[in-house]
Structure 1
Amino acid sequence: MTTTTMDIDSARQVLAAQPFARLVGTEITEFGGGRATLVIPVRDELRQQFGFVHGGVLSYAADNALTFAAGTVLGPNVLTGGFTVTYLRPAAGDRLRAEAVVAGSTRRQAVVNCEIYAESSDAEPVLCAVAQGTTRVVERAL
């Protein structure tokens, strides 16, 4: 098995190729060394009935950040094997920031932790969710 190293520009191309990421408006701001950070601008379409960011958006952010972080150590052909997310506080603000870090990896899988922050220009970031997941190498070209 050969892993291909990606840089942040390649990671941005992969993200841009994901229709759902484009729909949500996701950007990748950090990629490399077992880490990835995704940023999602908050807009009304991403909110639930109480005005907070929908939990599905937080789960998506965790899932994608986990997989991108794993891709920095396993190569680009990775998929999520599973993850758990715990919502700590309602997410409100101008944007979400999902920071993922590889906790450990083998040649074929990685365990990754993620913290999701709600950010506003007039306040300190608020940790609103945490997640942990496993990603696996896919043997065929994607």
Structure 2
Amino acid sequence: MSNVVSTAKFQDGLTTENLQALLSKTPFAAFLKPEVIKCENGFAELHVAMRRDLTQHHGFAHGAVIGCIADSACAWAAGSLAGDVVTAAYTLHLLGPGVGEKLVGRGYVVQSGKTIIVARSEVFAVRAGKEHLVAVATATISVIKRPSAGTV
């Protein structure tokens, strides 16, 4: 039995609806529980409600959670243009503690090529309705090429 979640139907680009459907079949996403707010035209936004199991020893959002949100926002923004993508590399700058009711990630495509897309993202902690910037990231996203039918 394969653990691969097919994304073949997303070759023309991720949308808010089909991305949420894909995440419902992805084990790590089931743990993180991101809410896809928007995924279109080189932009993506996701929200993650803060929970104790997402924190580190000081009670802040764990850096790995913030990194995942930043990476996801970049990849999903790229996927909205290119379909199936994976992250090749990302750089994360943590700017402050992730403390609040939820974390918000917003990703933007900077430049889109045939095989590589460069994106950037920002992650905010929302406290009392106000956004506080906690991280910025840049990412190199690889477009996945699927073989055409009948080729090996």
Does TM, normalized by the shorter one, top 0.5? yes
Shift of 1:123: 4.6
Confirm or deny that 1:97 pairs with 2:104: yes
Inter-partner Cα distance in structure 2 for 1:18 and 1:95: 21
Say if 2:14 and 2:81, in contact at 8 Å, map to a contact too. no
Partner of 1:87: 94
Partner of 2:7: none
Partner of 2:29: 21
The secondary structure found in structure 2 opposite 1:4 is coil
Confirm or deny that 1:60 pairs with 2:73: no
Say if 1:74 and 1:108, in contact at 8 Å, map to a contact too. no
TM-score under structure 2 normalisation?
Answer: 0.86
Confirm or deny that 1:111 pairs with 2:118: yes
Say if 1:74 and 1:109, in contact at 8 Å, map to a contact too. no
Inter-partner Cα distance in structure 2 for 1:60 and 1:136: 17
Structure 1, gaps ≥5 residues long: none
Amino acid at match of 1:87: L
Which structure would you say has the larger Rg?
Answer: 2
Residues 77-119 of structure 1: CA deviation (Å, up to 9, x unaligned): 1100100000000110010000000001111111000000000
The secondary structure found in structure 2 opposite 1:103 is strand
The secondary structure found in structure 2 opposite 1:61 is helix
Partner of 2:134: 128
Amino acid at match of 1:107: K
Say if 2:14 and 2:76, in contact at 8 Å, map to a contact too. no
The secondary structure found in structure 2 opposite 1:93 is coil
Q: Aligned-residue CA RMSD in angstroms? A: 1.3
* Identical-residue share of aligned pairs (%): 31
Inter-partner Cα distance in structure 2 for 1:90 and 1:123: 16
Inter-partner Cα distance in structure 1 for 2:113 and 2:140: 11
Report how many residues are paired. 137
Q: Segments of 4+ in structure 1 off by > 4 A? A: none
Partner of 2:59: 51
